[in-house]
Amino acid sequence: MAKRIRTSEGLFDKGDSPLKIAAIYAALLVACVISLIPIWMIFNMSLRPDQGLYTTELSFIPSNWTLDNYRVMIFEKPLLGWMGNSLIVSGTTAVLSVFVASHAGYALSRFRFWGRKGMLTFLLSTQMFPAPMLLLPTFLILSQFKLLNTFQGMIIPYMATAVPFATWMMKGFYDTIPVELEYAAAIDGATNLQSFYRITMPLATPALAVSALYSFMTGWSEYIIARVILTKASMYTLPVGLVTLQSAFNTEWGRYSAGALLTMLPAMVLFMAFSRYLVGGLTVGGVKG
């Protein structure tokens, strides 16, 4: 502890020379610029009055900028409808996936039961399925059960995508929570369900948050599955709707970009709000982090 207090004097690590600090800042700045350029491109295109890409201007904001694309997207195009569909699908996916994964992860972390190892291996191997391998039969099954173009037809495959990874993440995090806390509760007469809900689950908040974020984003940003399952325009989620604006010969880039920016914003805000959980809560493969 004494050491930690000593190193916390000053703004920088003791071992870092001024030259090294300058180099670190320079490298991080370059990395940030690279990370921001495509986002800035979308912002820039969304402000252009024309729908093409035909400008050689390299300014931060186009000289003839306008908010017209946003007006068109919000009031004339069905963007809000797509957003509503996406919210329903992603929100339900997140809530149900976290419920399923937090319980399964708890059992896999705390109990040694028949089939446990097989279940862990199976969940991990689902990550190896090439997307078309499940998508094709899923599509055929959904079409035979008349579930194409429905919310259920979207939510169930998204849950199947999100749950295996979320379960592993939850299991890895529960592993880091001392089981002795539950012994103490049991002495006071708590059942296992009570000690799980009142002690272990609240302590796993970072992992719950990361699982929720991961599951929500699965639905919010998924294009490849949605494109196959949704063919009716009124059911489009954001990704499918936005990409329809991009057709082979006449892409409405300005409007597309305005819509894309409005789609990105909630995702970016969520990520920033959750970013403090991401460092500790992200435990892959049961590794203690």
Partner 1 sequence: MARRSRSVEGLLPGAQPWNPYAYTMPALILMAIMVIYPLIYGVYIGFTNMSLQRFFEFDLIGLRNFTSILTEPELWEVLIRSIVWTAVNVAAHVAIGLWLAILLNRKLPGKSLFRVILILPWAIPQYIAALAWKTMYQHDFGFINLVLKQIGIDPVPWLQHPQWSFLAVILVNVWLGIPFMMMISLGGLQSIPKELYEATDVDGGTGWDKFRHITLPMLKPVLVPAATLGAVWTFNTVNVIYLVTGGGPGRSTDILVSYVYRAAFDFYRYGYAAAFSLLIFIMLMIWAVLFVYRNRADEGAY
State yes or no: residue 170 binds partner 1 (CB under 8 A). no
In whole angstroms, the minimum distance from the beta carbon of 85 to partner 1 comes to 15
Residue 95's contacts (CB-CB under 8 Å, 6 or more residues apart) are 212
Residue 215's contacts (CB-CB under 8 Å, 6 or more residues apart) are 90, 93, 94, 97, 98, 101, 158, 159, 162, 163, 166
**Token output for 289:** 């982090």
State yes or no: residue 28 binds partner 1 (CB under 8 A). yes
In whole angstroms, the minimum distance from the beta carbon of 244 to partner 1 comes to 12
String of contacts with partner 1 for each residue 79-108, x by CB under 8 A: --------------------xxx-xx-xxx
- Of 85, 92, 211, 283, which one interacts with partner 1 (CB under 8 A)? 283
The site for partner 1, by CB under 8 A, has a size of: 122
Judged by beta carbon, residue 19 or residue 128, the one nearer partner 1 is 128
**Token output for 145:** 């059960």
State yes or no: residue 61 binds partner 1 (CB under 8 A). no
Spatial CA neighbour of 215 closest among 265, 165, 147, 180: 165
State yes or no: residue 138 binds partner 1 (CB under 8 A). yes
Which of 60-68, 74-82, 146-154, 180-188 is the region at the interface with partner 1 (rule: CB under 8 A)?
Answer: 180-188
- Of 1, 11, 60, 63, which one interacts with partner 1 (CB under 8 A)? 11
Amino acid at 115: G
d(CA 227, CA 118): 33
Which of 65-73, 74-82, 146-154, 252-260 is the region at the interface with partner 1 (rule: CB under 8 A)?
Answer: 252-260
Other beta carbons less than 10 A from residue 5's beta carbon = 8
In whole angstroms, the minimum distance from the beta carbon of 126 to partner 1 comes to 6
Q: Are 44 and 62 in contact (CB under 8 A)?
A: yes
Residue 150's contacts (CB-CB under 8 Å, 6 or more residues apart) are 235
Contacts with partner 1 in 192-231 (CB under 8 A)?
Answer: 192-195, 217, 220-221, 223-224, 227-228
